[in-house]
Chains A and B, each alone.
Chain A
Amino acid sequence: MKRYSAFAIAKNAVNYHRGWERAWAKPEPKPEYDAIIIGAGGHGLATAYYLGKNYGITNVAIVEKGWLGGGNTGRNTTIIRSNYLQDPSAAIYEKARSLYETMSQDLNYNVMFSPRGVMMLAQTEHEVRGYQRTAHANALQGVETKFISPQRVKQLCPIIELSGPRFPVLGALWQPRGGTARHDAVAWGYARACSDMGMDVIQQCEVTGITQSGGQVTGIETTKGVMKTKKLGIVVAGNSGHLADMGGFRLPLESVSLQALVSEPVKPCMDVVVMANTVHGYMSQSDKGEMVIGGGTDGFNSYTQRGSFHHLEETVRALIETFPMVSRLKMLRHWGGIVDVTGDRSPIISKTPLGGCFINCGWGTGGFKAIPGSGWAMAELMSTGETQGLAAEFGLNRFQEGRFIDESVAAGVAH
């Protein structure tokens, strides 16, 4: 792999940019791999990357039914934060956030990580108390957050309306090191790095079956043929239930549609991420100038990658209340992604009833922020086969044992 650098741009400019090589190879599937990852989204690619980087396992295939990063990795609102309440969540999300800081250098691919700061508005007395509690918990966990006053909120985000008609802003939980990153670049950067390590990123290859023998996984059947492996990682977000069905086990999650929308580009007017969970709207401005807006989930199971219109209306109503200036903006695009939601709103990184088969799912409405940490933990689990480290608390058995990681406040609504 030729490294990207300012020098490389200058050198290629001389040849009218005809000398660039493909960012990642387009391989044909091999009959057998040491490990196979199903799903070439951020989490799947990160898992493969850390399998290679941290554990030296590079005979790996990452199979994807569509194109890489075409699922939720390309459909989220790119917010990165780690201000969760419980210790296991804070550990994995903070690991992810810290890995984002060095990701561009690590992958030699500009993921445009922008630690512009994330604030979560408190608009009821209960929210004030809840976020103060989170700030104290974060202080103990070593995650830098602070509860700030409405005046400070206005200072950080001048376009905000503090005295809204229904819910005035009473303060905010502020994480200065949170921010955003270019979502596609995260998938592309990981894919390029994986391809460089000799891994096969196989796109347009849908898994149609999981083969097993004596309770152990033996391989997968796909639209591009059969591939054998003894280690299988399922990292497919909304389609987890579908794949689990092929593996012969059930999961404690349901798939719903989550919507987002983006406005026409405007001049820079907002250099922080603002989340308002009570009225349910959240917004940030992309580098192109578009206002990126997160909506709500449908209440019912869906695999449609589109959502109900009345949720859009609720979201826009909340935004106009919080940021009156957006009322004149035209919305350019609107889309939905399928998110897999667990009972305690925390992910599952776990062994499964099928030997050699591991699953990473249940990130629900907020997986983008966790991509590097999730991959790191999943790689650790897949290489050692032991539940330890970051993934330790996120096992499937927690639902039977009642060891929930309750994040419904931090993760239930906005991301």
Chain B
Amino acid sequence: MLHLTCPNCGQMVDETDLHAGGQAHITRHGAGASDADFEDYLFMRKNPKGVHFERWRHVYGCGKWFHAARCTTTLQVFGTYSAQTLTPPKPLITKIKKLRPEWEGFEK
């Protein structure tokens, strides 16, 4: 079972207390955007085989959203962090690069 630490309340909880919210750090496009941008925002997803950044909500706990970095092939969790950011924190990126030298980086 997947265990994540909620960075908002500091509790380590299992996935039954959480709600998965899909890919994190998606650029939001609204009124006036091109069709391609809007499609990107609504439907296009990275779906990587490996390191993935996701949104999670601690529904049966503090109720707040947070982000997690996780491997989709091994379910290894690299870390969780506050949702109040546009990019993953630098120390986490460094940690993942060390653990997974073949990883092409967050921008890919």
Measured CA separation A304–B49 after assembly (Å): 10
**Contacts of B54 on A, CB cut-off 8 Å?**
300-301
Q: How far is the CB of B93 from chain A (nearest CB, A)?
A: 19
How many residues on A have C-beta within 8 angstroms of the other chain's C-beta atoms?
A: 26
A400 at the interface (CB under 8 A from B): yes
A16 at the interface (CB under 8 A from B): no
Is the Cβ of B16 less than 8 Å from the Cβ of A343? Answer: no
Interface size on B, as a range, is 20 to 34
Q: How far is the CB of A234 from chain B (nearest CB, A)?
A: 14
Give residues 35-73 of B contacting A (CB, 8 Å).
35-36, 38-39, 42-49, 52, 54, 70, 72-73
A241 at the interface (CB under 8 A from B): yes
Given A300-B2, A301-B52, A308-B2, decide whether A251 and B44 contact each other with a Cβ distance below 8 A.
yes
Interface membership of chain A positions 289-304, coded 1 if the CB is closer than 8 angstroms to chain B and 0 otherwise: 0000000001111111
Is the Cβ of A239 less than 8 Å from the Cβ of B1? Answer: no
B100 at the interface (CB under 8 A from A): no
A-B contact count (CB 8 A): 69
**Contacts of A303 on B, CB cut-off 8 Å?**
49, 72-73
A254 at the interface (CB under 8 A from B): yes
Residue ID in chain B nearest A313 by CB atoms = B16
B9 at the interface (CB under 8 A from A): no
Residue ID in chain B nearest A241 by CB atoms = B47
Main secondary structure on B side of the interface with A: mixed
Measured CA separation A157–B84 after assembly (Å): 53
Residue ID in chain A nearest B14 by CB atoms = A310
A55 at the interface (CB under 8 A from B): no
Is the Cβ of A301 less than 8 Å from the Cβ of B44? Answer: no
Given A302-B75, A310-B15, decide whether A400 and B35 contact each other with a Cβ distance below 8 A.
yes
Given contacts A251-B47, A340-B47, A400-B36, 14 further A-B contacts (CB under 8 A): A252-B39, A252-B45, A254-B22, A255-B72, A300-B2, A300-B20, A301-B72, A302-B75, A303-B49, A308-B2, A310-B16, A399-B43, A400-B39, A401-B35
Chain B interface residues (CB < 8 Å from chain A): 1-2, 15-16, 19-20, 22-23, 35-36, 38-39, 42-49, 52, 54, 70, 72-75
- Interchain Cβ contacts under 8 Å between A and B, 24 examples: A241-B45, A241-B47, A241-B49, A250-B46, A251-B45, A253-B45, A253-B47, A254-B23, A300-B70, A301-B23, A301-B48, A302-B72, A302-B75, A303-B49, A303-B72, A303-B73, A304-B73, A304-B74, A304-B75, A308-B2, A310-B16, A342-B43, A399-B42, A399-B44
